[in-house]
Structure 1
Amino acid sequence: MSSSTSSSRRSITPADVDALRSLLAGTIRRWSRAAEKPAGVVLVPTAVEQVAVAVKYASENNIDLAVKGGGHSTAGVSSTDGGLLVDLNAKLRGVTVDVDKKLLKVQGGATWADVDAAGVKHGLATVGGTVADTGVGGLVLGGGYGWLSGQRGLAIDNLVEATVVLASGEIVKASEQDNTDLFWALRGAGQNFGVVTEFVLRAFDQGDVWAGIQIYPPTPENITKIVNATNELYQPDANGKTKLLGRGAGGISFGRPPPAGGQVVIIVAIIYFGTEHEAKSVFKPFYDLTPLVDTTALVPYPNINTLLAPPIGFRASLKGLAFALPIRPGFVQEVLENYVEFTDKNEDARTSVIMWELFDPAKVVSSDTGSFANRGWVLNGIALPLWTAAENDQAYRQWARDVNELFKKELEAQQKLNGDAKGDAGPRSGKGAVLLYGNYDQYDERSKDIFGENYSRLQSLKARYDPKNVFNKLFAVTPQA
């Protein structure tokens, strides 16, 4: 190695030190402050080869390894306490658009805001996160629901190719043509198999969208009318078709948003891939209720992924819930009472949210792509406690668990009513997996619960691609002996 000449050297300035401190603070920072851990060493790579060197070194020296994509996981899976952190988000978040082939080439540290911004310039979009500051990597590798799922399926259904750094440090391509077993595993259990430094995603023509939120007082009458109208739109008929035919999405939430002055309200998100006239006709029952606030308008596609974005800077737990249609108005009233009691008694958690996420699941159910085993007619919800004081971590996470138990009991009651109860494990997919979305916090579920009958095949592939279990942060698959 040649020595540096005097002309190539310079002194380190205070500005350099400040820049380094800022970079290091950013690498540790997470969307949930409760998910932050002090890494022992941080790598901010600018090329896939640098990632490969770091992964190989961690594997050979039994060093705990974490990878930060968007840093949105509230379970702390992108953090390490004293180990090696590879921060893709700082320097590897570019997006290239192939307009002719309608493909988006996305680096592993990009967020969905990066993808949306690149695609909209060309009138293109793909299935991405419902919150724009979510990282692409974590969402895609865990399945990937988005507001376009009613028309286009999951994010993994639109993954064309992935560039992967394996535990050995080898860099490979995975697709339907190359390393097909690895490609199958990546689409649903991807966090177990390597660091994906580039995703190639299928894009679609996408114009403006009718979307916004409506806010209503949480009266029993409003709850009943909103829930009944929701069931009418989203509940599939005997042929698996809904009135929305995949063109509508949104949700029902309880919150205390600033426009309501801290009062508890019902927040209805309306997203419709069509004209204003069509949307107002389809969602007429909601408009007839005369909301206190109505922001619905024709907006660029990226705007819909900011509609329900929670505030940044809190400690948080994004606890996954599951529910089935029809939603029962009495159950929603019960959840409201629980929410009001919790947020009234806990000033530090008054910005918390409970939400039922809504879309037409027919497209998702019709596919069988990858190792994702949780497809079904059960939809996702979230209990999202938001707080500031670390001493409240345990109590507020427990509240999210308690809300989850309410949803589980309601789902079990629906099963019994329909004569299809299957024991204490709760509803299962056709692959024997619990119908819970693994990208949300699932504190008490095991990997076998999430992957169902795919687990044994995943174990075999894990033994081939990651026998030392280097990648073990989220629903870790035990390598087959």
Structure 2
Amino acid sequence: MPSIDQSALERLRGVLSSNALVNLPGDPEYTNKRWARNAEKTAAIVAYPATAQDVAQIITFAQGKSPYETQSKLDLAVKGGGHAPSGASSSEGGLVIDLNPKMNNVRVDPEAKLAYVQGGALWADVDNATFPHGLASVSGVVSHTGVGGLILGGGFGWLCSQYGLVIDNLVQVTIVTSLGKILTASDSENPDLFWAVRGGGGNFGVVTEFVLKLHEQRAELWGGILMYPPTMLEKLIPEINSWLSERTPTENAHLLFTRAPTGQPVVGIQLVYNGDAEAGAKKFERFINLGPIVTNLQSIPYLELNRPVRTTWFLPGLFNLWLGLITEHPAASPSVFVLELYHPGVYSSVPKDATAYAHRTPTYNIGYLMEWTDPAWTDQSIPTVLALDKEFVKLRNTHFSPELVGEGSYLNYQDAESQKGGSSRRFGSHFPRLVEIKHQYDPENLFGKWFALPTKA
């Protein structure tokens, strides 16, 4: 583990704001906890900034630049919610900037319908601040995830069908670059940087504040989950197709391949209607009439919402991939496949080149939510998922033409490629422009943990 120069460390502590902290292993407040155990690493030093100026000083320290020349350069990671399963928010023997403890404030301007969100906030912090005003932002579907990671990767969630991705509702950011400069980026100020952070990941600096558009939101929605035996999938598919052809942006669903509380494999549908219970029951009655073995539908308070397919043959093939996974690897039996059936009308209408997020084709995301019960299986998890992904791509390409699949992909659903440089597949045709902007703002690739871009073409 690289050594921490004590004189440089004391100099850093001397210039940080009074509320900031810097901890070494063994200090009482040092922690390496992450959402995923496989992402936990032991950093040589963890810094908890309280201001953008603190972040600038910590970045300078990590690079051993003046006035910290006695400190050798450290590997740098940035943590918001710590939800990255790839380990992008951790560093073995390096320096972690942990934004969450000290930079999690959310300020709401109800008249302007804007939220000023610090980079370490969780989506629960945003919901709790906006909801008393009858407002909500487009957010993810799990409230204990960090705001920063979701936004920088694009941002799907239950409200994206009505208002677009989170990045389509982003007005401005404050960002600290590798040179320690604190910049504002918006459509009118540093527009190239603003374009890049909307879907280009954490390649360009540490975002200390996001300004988000807010939308009027009712207090309760309607929805829940239905579960069916796998034999019902054949009857379920035409009903899903029929619903997809006529549903409105207020109706959304996730199709799940999972296990029931009894342990049996099931096909689940998680339903959310942004409206009242009577209308919601009508919207989804076709699924209720199929006779699910588990029915749990009810009015859902908005604050509780986020707490924890088109062809006949594609979905059965996908189900068989999931069933094969949990059969061959019993330790991974809690794993879930989820097909996100958000209405694509609004977010796919945004011009492809408007932001760095290239994947504007009206398609649906599929996620593998891997979970395992035996710690000894951890080393097998990534190779297993990569092999699974290859089989999925074969299945997808058999049933869908390239123009239906589109280009690029969603950064927030990560794989082993997320920590490799030059992940051009993820960025599609936007890759060359992103490389140019990367070279301008982070020429030495200080921020290279999450789908790192090369600094030269």
Range into which the TM-score falls when normalised by the shorter chain: 0.7 to 0.9
Stretch of structure 1 that moved more, 158-167 or 334-343: 334-343
Please state if 1:397 is matched with 2:382. Answer: yes
Of the candidates 310, 315, 320, which is equivalent to residue 326 of structure 1? 310
Match of 1:247 in 2: 250
User: With CA pairs under 8 Å and 6+ residues apart, which has the higher RCO, 1 or 2?
Assistant: 1
Amino acid at match of 2:415: Q
Amino acid at match of 2:385: A
Q: Residue 122 of structure 2 contacts residue 146 of structure 2 at CA under 8 Å; is this kept in 1? A: yes
Q: CA deviation at 1:345?
A: 4.4
Q: How many residues align?
A: 421
Please state if 1:47 is matched with 2:51. Answer: yes
Stretch of structure 1 that moved more, 265-274 or 154-163: 265-274
Match of 2:203 in 1: 192
Q: CA deviation at 1:388?
A: 4.1
Q: Report the 3-state secondary structure (helix = DSSP H, G, I; strand = E; otherwise coil) of the residue aligned with 2:184.
A: strand
Amino acid at match of 2:355: G
Q: 2:387 and 2:438 mapped to 1: Cα distance?
A: 34
Counterparts of 1:277-296 in structure 2, within 5 Å, are: 277-296=278-297
Q: 1:71 and 1:469 mapped to 2: Cα distance?
A: 21
Q: 1:302 and 1:336 mapped to 2: Cα distance?
A: 32
Counterparts of 1:77-476 in structure 2, within 5 Å, are: 77-207=88-218, 208-219=220-231, 222-235=232-245, 243-257=246-260, 260-306=261-307, 309=308, 325-328=309-312, 330-368=313-351, 369-415=354-400, 420-421=401-402, 429=406, 433-434=407-408, 436-444=409-417, 447-476=423-452
Q: 1:326 and 1:198 mapped to 2: Cα distance?
A: 39
Q: Residue 255 of structure 1 contacts residue 353 of structure 1 at CA under 8 Å; is this kept in 2? A: yes
Q: 1:373 and 1:428 mapped to 2: Cα distance?
A: 12
Q: Residue 386 of structure 2 contacts residue 415 of structure 2 at CA under 8 Å; is this kept in 1? A: no
Q: Report the 3-state secondary structure (helix = DSSP H, G, I; strand = E; otherwise coil) of the residue aligned with 2:304.
A: helix
Tell me the alpha carbon deviations over residues 183-220 of structure 1, each in whole angstroms, 9 at most, x when there is no partner.
Answer: 1111111400000011110000001211211122222x
Q: 1:245 and 1:129 mapped to 2: Cα distance?
A: 20
Q: CA deviation at 1:91?
A: 1.7
Q: Residue 311 of structure 2 contacts residue 399 of structure 2 at CA under 8 Å; is this kept in 1? A: no
Tell me the alpha carbon deviations over residues 130-184 of structure 1, each in whole angstroms, 9 at most, x when there is no partner.
Answer: 1111110001011111111111111000001111111111111111121111111
Q: CA deviation at 1:389?
A: 3.6
Tell me the alpha carbon deviations over residues 379-410 of structure 1, each in whole angstroms, 9 at most, x when there is no partner.
Answer: 10111221244431243333323332333223
Q: 1:152 and 1:23 mapped to 2: Cα distance?
A: 40
Q: Report the 3-state secondary structure (helix = DSSP H, G, I; strand = E; otherwise coil) of the residue aligned with 1:189.
A: coil
| TM-score normalised to structure 1 length | 0.83
Tell me the alpha carbon deviations over residues 63-96 of structure 1, each in whole angstroms, 9 at most, x when there is no partner.
Answer: 2110000111111111111111000112211111
Q: Report the 3-state secondary structure (helix = DSSP H, G, I; strand = E; otherwise coil) of the residue aligned with 2:270.
A: strand
Q: Which runs of 5+ in 2 are unaligned?
A: 1-22, 66-71
Distance 1:278 1:402, change over 3 A: farther
Amino acid at match of 1:32: A
Match of 2:3 in 1: none
Aligned-pair identity (%):
38
Q: 2:141 and 2:338 mapped to 1: Cα distance?
A: 13
Q: Residue 209 of structure 1 contacts residue 274 of structure 1 at CA under 8 Å; is this kept in 2? A: yes
Q: 1:360 and 1:298 mapped to 2: Cα distance?
A: 21
Q: CA deviation at 1:49?
A: 1.3
Q: Residue 384 of structure 1 contacts residue 400 of structure 1 at CA under 8 Å; is this kept in 2? A: no
Q: 1:66 and 1:444 mapped to 2: Cα distance?
A: 17
Q: 1:303 and 1:229 mapped to 2: Cα distance?
A: 28
Amino acid at match of 1:38: T
| TM-score normalised to structure 2 length | 0.87
Q: CA deviation at 1:343?
A: 2.4
Q: 1:448 and 1:231 mapped to 2: Cα distance?
A: 33
Q: Report the 3-state secondary structure (helix = DSSP H, G, I; strand = E; otherwise coil) of the residue aligned with 1:188.
A: coil
Amino acid at match of 2:423: S
Q: Residue 234 of structure 1 contacts residue 359 of structure 1 at CA under 8 Å; is this kept in 2? A: no
Q: Residue 201 of structure 2 contacts residue 451 of structure 2 at CA under 8 Å; is this kept in 1? A: no
